Every structure is written in C-alpha cells, then in structure tokens.
Amino acid sequence: MLIAANFKTNKTRAQTREYYRAVSSYIAENNIASEAMIFPPATALDSFDGAISVGAQNAYAVENGAFTGEIGLEQLDEFGIKTILIGHSERRHILGESQELLVQKFDYFKEQGFTIVYCIGEPLEVREEGSEVLIGYLDDQLEGIDLDYKNLVIAYEPVWAIGTGLTPSADEVELIHTALRQKIECKILYGGSVKTANAEELLALENVDGALIGSGALKVDDYCTILSIADSLNK
Ligand code: PGA
C-alpha cells in the first residue's frame, strides 16, 4: 500500500527535515513495508536520503524559464525529485488550473519518467446527482491522461471531503474505486479526511490501494499510526 502525506502550505524546511527523520526511524524500527511518500511545500524540497519518497506538490511543465512564482524541472532535478502531484482539487478549484493545463503537465512529467499522483474528485453538487453523473465527471477529469503510464498513481478525492472531516460511506468509496478499477490498473488511493480513526475502514476496502492524506498526516505520530495500519492490512 502507498500512504502519501500532502503537507500543502504547512511546515518549514526544518520541520520537514525533522518529520522525515522521525518517520524514517519509525519505518526502520517497525519494519514497515508499505510505501511512504510525502509532498512538502516547494521551499522544503531538499535531498533526502531514506525510505520515504519525496514529491513536489506542483511544478510548471518546463525545464526553466520566465514563469514568475513557478518552479520547473531544473529546481526538482537539483534534489533528485522524481515524483509530482498533478490535478489536486485545490489547484483545480482555488488556483483555477484547467484540464488542458493538467494534461500538459502530465505529458511533460511523464516524458521525464516521473511518478505522477494524479488527483480526481467531484464537488458536492455533482455527487448529489447520483453515481452515474459522478463517474462521468471523474471520466472527464481523466480525459487526455495516459492511464497506461507505468508510473501513474490515481488519487480519488471527493472535493467536499477534503479538509472537512466528512467522508463518503465505505460502500460509496468502494463503488467509485471499483468503477475506476475497470479502466485503471495502477494504484488507486483514496483521499479526503483520512485520519487515524477511519484509516483502517477505508484502507481495507476493495480497490483502495492506499491514501493521500492532508491534515490527518501533519503529525508524525498520526502518519506513523496510519502507516502501521496499512501494513497490518497486508494488502
Ligand atoms: P485532507 O486533505 O486529508 O486534509 O482532507 C487531503 C488532500 O487534500 O489530499
């Protein structure tokens, strides 16, 4: 299983180093076999030497150039970063990234051989229209994405479940993951208010291959607890 922590706009460089160190020790001491991955803010990207993969929350589809406020491949290469999050709902809905831009990023980082965690998820008004409309909406977010890409991971994160403490029911999560599984072979993570209290129930579901976690993973202890829950499920 893959347990990914998305720090969003949290943690400094020093705090990220400390988190990495503490989680690495936990993994080594407890023989954790699940894959650990973290997405620190761009300012905390660095060279890390250990069992946890480190990815960028965002980058522009370019090696370098005149794109004020963005980072490109050159800045990721400096630290050997080969993992990126694309399509997170906060970038789609708050920062206004279009499907076209996301496909452009996807193609660029695919070309570079990156592991791409590609996020999809519906707003509440779409969910309220029923599963058929919901699945159609997710299909649109997969438009233009090479689902056969060997380093692809999909994260299904309902927008209304992100940072709200709300989650779909276990049956609802399973229904969507099973529908996605029909067209996607790669790992499918669930995201949206995953925390220590609900991790076991969500991770145990069929076709859930891990989690993408925001606030519930900010504390080292919580993240480590979820890693060991994933491990104990032995999927
Ligand atoms: P959350 O965020 O766990 O705080 O709901 C998940 C995410 O945005 O990836």
- pLDDT tens over the chain, length 235 residues: 999 999 999 999 999 999 999 999 999 999 999 999 999 999 999 999 889 999 999 999 999 999 999 999 999 999 999 999 999 999 999 999 999 999 999 999 999 999 999 999 999 999 999 999 999 999 999 999 999 999 999 999 999 999 999 999 999 999 999 999 999 999 999 999 999 999 999 999 999 999 999 999 999 999 999 999 999 998 7
Identify the CATH number of the domain in which residue 215 sits: 3.20.20.70
What does the block give as tokens for 91?
């970038």
User: Closest by alpha carbon to 79, among 42, 110, 131, 107?
Assistant: 42
Specify the amino acid at residue 113.
G
pLDDT of amino acid 41: 98
Give catalytic status of residue 93 as yes or no.
no
Among 35, 88, 174, 177, the one annotated catalytic: 88
**Distance, CA 66 to ligand 1 centroid (Å)?**
31
Q: What is the pTM of this model?
A: 0.97
Residue 213 CA: nearest ligand 1 atom is 3
Give catalytic status of residue 125 as yes or no.
no
Q: Whose CA is nearest to atom 2 of ligand 1?
A: 214
Q: For the chain, what is the domain count?
A: 1
pLDDT of amino acid 235: 79
Structural domain range at position 153: 2-233
Report the Cα–Cα distance between both ends of the chain, in Å, rounded.
Answer: 7
| β-bridge pairing 83-86 and 2-6 | unpaired
Tell me how far apart the alpha carbons of residues 112 and 118 are, in angstroms, rounded to a whole number: 15
Quick check: 74 and 63 in contact, CB under 8 A?
A: yes
pLDDT of amino acid 234: 81
Choose which residue among 194, 198, 222 to substitute to test ligand 1 binding: the one with the highest number of ligand atoms within 8 A of its C-beta: 194
DSSP-derived 3-state class of residue 215: helix
Choose which residue among 162, 194, 195, 218 to substitute to test ligand 1 binding: the one with the highest number of ligand atoms within 8 A of its C-beta: 162
Please work out whether the CB of residue 191 comes within 6 Å of at least one atom of ligand 1: yes
